[in-house]
A and B are shown apart, each in its own frame.
Chain A
Amino acid sequence: MARKAKVEAKAPVGAVLVVGGGIAGIQSSLDLANAGFKVWLVEKGPGIGGVMARLDKTFPTNDCAM
């Protein structure tokens, strides 16, 4: 019992792994890093951006997706 309590009291690691460098992964990474956590962002491809970087324009504003 005492041992279990000790384990629970151990502080968690203040870092997060984010898998996927699309718009969702990027947003989570920025939010966490700006809130004081170390972030590891892993992306399969050579660069981040995901599908959104391949879209032409986005509705409803017709803004460029970049």
Chain B
Amino acid sequence: MECGRHSDIELLPLTELTSVEGSAGDFTVTLEQKPRYVDPALCIACGACAEKCPKSVKNAFDEGFADRKAAYILYEQAVPLKYALDPDHCIYLQKGKCRACEKICPTQAIRFDDQPKIIKAHVGAILAAPGFKPFNPTVCEPYGYGVIPDVVTGMEYERLLSSSGPCHGHLTRPSDKTEPRSVAWLQCVGSRTTTGAGSPACSSVCCMYALKQAVMTGAHTKGAPDLSIFFMDLRTHGKGFEEYGESAKAKGVKLIRCRPHSFLPGPEGKGVDIRWADETGQEQRRTFDLAVLSVGLAPPRDASDLAAKLGLTLDERGFAKTSGFDPTAASKPGVFVSGCFHSPMDIPTSVVMASAAASAAAKTLAQSRGTLIPAKVTPPVTDVSGETPRVGVFVCSCGTNIAGVVDVAGVVEYARTLPYVAHVENNLFSCSQDTQGRIIQAIRDQSLNRVVIAACTPRTHEPLFRETLMAAGLNKYLVEMANIRNQNSWVHADEPEAATTKAKDLTRMAVARVVRLKPLVEKTLSVNNAALVLGAGVAGMTAALDLADQGFPVTLVERADCLGGNARSLRTTSRGERIADFLSDLALKVRSHDRVTVLTEANLTHVEGFVGHFTSTVRQGRTSLKIEHGAAILATGAVQTRPKEYCYGRHPAIMTHLEMDRALTEGLDPHTIHEAVFIQCVGSREPARPWCSRVCCTHAVKLALHFKEKNPNCRVAVLYRDMRTYGERELLYHKARKLGVLFVRYELGAKPRVSIKNGGVRVIVRDHVLDRDLEFRPDVLGLAAAIAPPDTDKVSRMFKVSTDAHGWYQEAHVKLRPVDFATDGVFLAGMAHGPKALDEALAQAQAAAARAAQILCQTEMTLSGITAQVAEAKCVGCKMCVTICPFKAIAMNDKNLAEVNEAMCKGCGLCTGSCRSSAIALRGFTDQDLMAQIGAMFSDQESRP
């Protein structure tokens, strides 16, 4: 991961915060780093220590289903990839005898005398993201967890499914290690419960993880296993989640709406006998091979401890106390929270919150930006173009990882015979610090101008060797790696002779390619540090304000004549905070900020340029303005659709949620309402609009509560399909039920019927429990009208960003880049991405500001040297490359020929492959380079046995 190599991130594993002094802007923190007993500077992660270590322990990473040694790494791709000794289990550290790892370690990295280190650091802000603890279901006796071997938790099941887990991707059940033919999931274990140790709130993520696990189980196992999910309400309220749920059903995942009352051991102690009462009240029982408890997310183990050190207040459930209007700010100034310490949340929300917390912290420290990071210096580069290639080949032994299988000396001798090779040497570890010094020396002494590293994978090590070349004054693109470890010695351990031949082949191919490589130039571009924010709803205003507070000039463009967007119609948040006050305060801050220019009744008409250099044209009345900016945030919101059913528009008592909020603000007296009915999913979760509108369940419950609280005699009913009061919103649902609000579920095939009779509204719905029709004559009927995307077409074309099939803005990566577009320099926030609540839109806006700030804070950007290049003479103007480029980096020029914008090109090579006239070449990966490499594979038949 990028984090481990970032020069400005001091990564301290095995470290805990011990104390904090000072206040916002100037904290002194004391950190204690526990001993690793392995010197990370020397450890090369060869794994010899773990292989030799005689002590096996249950691996907590694999939920105890597999063993690891006392000398261990967390997982194969761990960052930092350094072993550690577990002092609780190491035989020497416990009993004073063994030291086997010390003897075997090829780099003498074992340090039995390692001591805890105390580190003091000065920081301006603190971000707390300690994660969560899965709920422990041992206390839920009816489910037999810990007693029946084939009852596991969702987290344990993840490891059973994982290809790097204890079953190596071939799912087996714990009791007899056979592949389960039937798996049952039980939802809401430890969530949505008011009895026992669980939480009354919903954990938000379990419905989706159970669906995913069911789908993955179907894919991992043979045939068509029986996959059943026992649930209360299916909460697939996130973007794309409803469609995922539908596709799971189509793949055969059964959804059973009920809560089984008993889990009993299956025959011979294998499997689980589950008993439940179905919706008609019939007793059902079935034996499943395996049962998974979808456990909820509890606060982290040491939450109270951490809160005490940081001086934070926690809520009743043990999560950090925050406000809906400033979601990442903890109760103490200068301290911010994100991830599940805030509340249970899924991965994309965690990533959004994390970026939002970064923005909130950066705002408070803006004036000290760049003061504590060293300026980057690049050494001068020698021009080697035109020189005859002089290749240096460095063959790595990787301890015994390569040398234990491959005859490394033979490869070295062979490499000397290859054309243009001027220097060959063998290194014990080519990646070690001292070897980098030797490589630099060899480049200088032997006047090498190309380098081949025959070692491991470029994915992890190419950046290191590129840096080494730069330090030696060579262009960094003149290095090629031959992977003789991962793709050779590891996979052919049983065939050393053939592996040696393959190592020679790979080395020869690398040399054939490297001699053809040309130095590539990395261009730099200056960056305009202003931002454009489109849309002045809560998201747009928040993003604009965050960027302005971070020191960047912002132009905020709004189509309407006032600021606020949809939030102007809303009364309160799910926590009961008054939105109008917040909104007027926010608008005032935006209008009075000297770095924000607000343009209302303004429309974007044209955009030119790319990341760092956009020129947008905005029309305001009769005048056209040109705005130069380096980044843009699109926060164009969403619209409430106009219902086409339930007699909407034919009676004043029938209102959408926004209309009802407005009516209440404008004087509708709840005391005059004796019967209120709400119909959910009006236009959502139907073929025309398959998504869930996310906010309506909570909104309906809030309105229902309002009527009930003001007038306890009021009869209130909510007609729903699934109640999706996710997270702590569940507490509102709970309260509404307690106060007597009636919740009646209907199916898509049997919608409520609304008619107007004698000037009054009549609603009839089939109650599935009573199996009879219920009739209401409400004074108000609230319709949860679907939320639909705005017209994103024009704007998305102007900025060359993508929208999904329904017209919502499409983020670059659903999980890891939730506020970025694939197009650099353009970010998204708020409901234009998908329906969401106010606090969520706000966090997303802060996150977008954090991401945009990373571009705006640079004075110039360095572009990669590996970019596509069009030979105009060969281009036939077919536009195939324009269509295929995922980064929208190619456009037709005025000669109607393809032209690549190097600032936007990522060097993926898709255009090169798709060009029918071979007019596009990828610098560093030209057809000729690759053909030379492939040609070399067959050129030397002698080395083959």
Chain A interface (Cβ within 8 Å of chain B)?
10-63, 66
Contacts and interface: CB of A to CB of B under 8 A. Distances in A.
Contacts of A42: 12, 15-17, 31
A23 B365 contact: no
B354 interface: yes
Given A19-B129, A28-B127, A28-B358, A12 B25 contact: yes
Contact of B367 (A11, A41, A46, A47): A11
Interface stretch (B74-82, B428-436, B755-763, B830-838): B74-82
Given A17-B29, A19-B126, A47 B212 contact: no
A23 B354 contact: yes
Contact of B358 (A22, A31, A45, A62): A31
A46 B10 contact: no
B766 interface: no
A14 B2 contact: no
B212 A54 contact: no
Contact of A33 (B8, B125, B341, B371): B8
Contacts of A29: 3, 6, 9
Contacts of B347: 23, 52, 58
B3 A23 contact: no
A15 B61 contact: no
B116 to A, nearest CB: 13
A35 B126 contact: no
B783 interface: no
B365 A53 contact: no
B122 A13 contact: yes
Nearest to A22: B131
Interface stretch (B159-167, B180-188, B414-422): B159-167
Contacts of B3: 26, 29-30, 41, 48
A42 to B, nearest CB: 4
B161 A17 contact: no
Nearest to B300: A20
B545 interface: no
B13 interface: yes
A49 B61 CA distance: 11
9 contacts: A23-B351, A24-B340, A32-B358, A35-B369, A46-B78, A47-B78, A47-B82, A48-B1, A52-B347
A30 B306 contact: no
Given A13-B124, A19-B129, A32 B212 contact: no
A54 B365 contact: no
B216 interface: yes
Contact of B158 (A30, A38, A48, A54): A54
A58 B211 CA distance: 11
Interface string B617-641: 0000000000000000000000000
Nearest 10 Cβ contacts at the A-B interface: A24-B339, A14-B368, A12-B25, A27-B354, A31-B358, A47-B78, A20-B129, A24-B129, A12-B124, A13-B124
Nearest to B328: A28
B292 to A, nearest CB: 13
A51 B132 contact: yes
Nearest to A16: B125
Contacts of A20: 128-131, 339, 341
Given A27-B350, A51-B155, 12 more contacts: A13-B26, A13-B365, A15-B372, A18-B126, A19-B306, A30-B6, A31-B850, A38-B372, A42-B15, A47-B74, A47-B78, A59-B208
Given A37-B8, A42-B12, A44-B15, A28 B815 contact: no
Interface string B181-220: 0000000000000000000000000001101110110000
A50 B372 contact: no
A57 to B, nearest CB: 6
Contacts of B776: none
Nearest to A64: B163
B362 A28 contact: no
A52 B131 CA distance: 10
Nearest to A13: B124
A19 B815 contact: no
Interface string B717-735: 0000000000000000000
B158 A31 contact: no
Given A26-B3, A27-B354, A47-B79, A12 B127 contact: no
Interface string B327-367: 00000000000111100000100110111011101101101
Contact of A16 (B127, B241, B244, B850): B127
Contacts of A38: 8, 10, 372-373
A14 B370 contact: yes
A10 B122 CA distance: 14
Interface stretch (B602-610, B678-686, B851-859): B851-859
B351 A24 contact: yes
Contacts of B31: 40, 42
B121 interface: yes
Contacts of A49: 1, 74-75, 78-79
A59 B339 CA distance: 18
Contacts of A66: 77
B243 interface: yes
A47 B9 contact: no
Contacts of B15: 42-44
Nearest to A25: B129
Contacts of B77: 53, 66
B626 to A, nearest CB: 28
A25 B339 contact: yes
A16 B4 CA distance: 17
A3 to B, nearest CB: 16
A49 B365 CA distance: 27
A60 to B, nearest CB: 4
A39 B8 contact: yes
Contacts of A13: 25-27, 122-124, 365, 368, 372
A26 B854 contact: no
A41 B814 CA distance: 25
Nearest to B365: A12
B123 A40 contact: yes
A18 B215 contact: no
A48 B354 contact: no
A11 B2 CA distance: 30
A40 B12 contact: yes
Interface in B212-255: 212-213, 215-216, 240-241, 243-244
Nearest to B240: A60
Nearest to B241: A60
A1 B125 CA distance: 25
A29 to B, nearest CB: 5
B121 A15 contact: yes
A54 B351 CA distance: 17
B56 to A, nearest CB: 18
A43 B74 CA distance: 13
B365 A60 contact: no
B84 interface: yes
Contacts of B16: 42, 44
Contacts of B476: none
B14 interface: yes
Contacts of B118: none
Nearest to B164: A66
A33 B6 contact: yes
Nearest to B12: A42
Given A15-B123, A45-B13, A59 B162 contact: no
B303 to A, nearest CB: 11
B36 interface: yes
Most B C-beta atoms less than 10 A away, residue of A19, A57, A61, A62: A19
A28 B13 contact: no
Contacts of B125: 12, 16-17
B73 interface: yes
B12 A43 contact: yes
A46 B355 contact: no
Nearest to A48: B79
B892 to A, nearest CB: 32
Contacts of B61: 54
B123 A41 contact: no
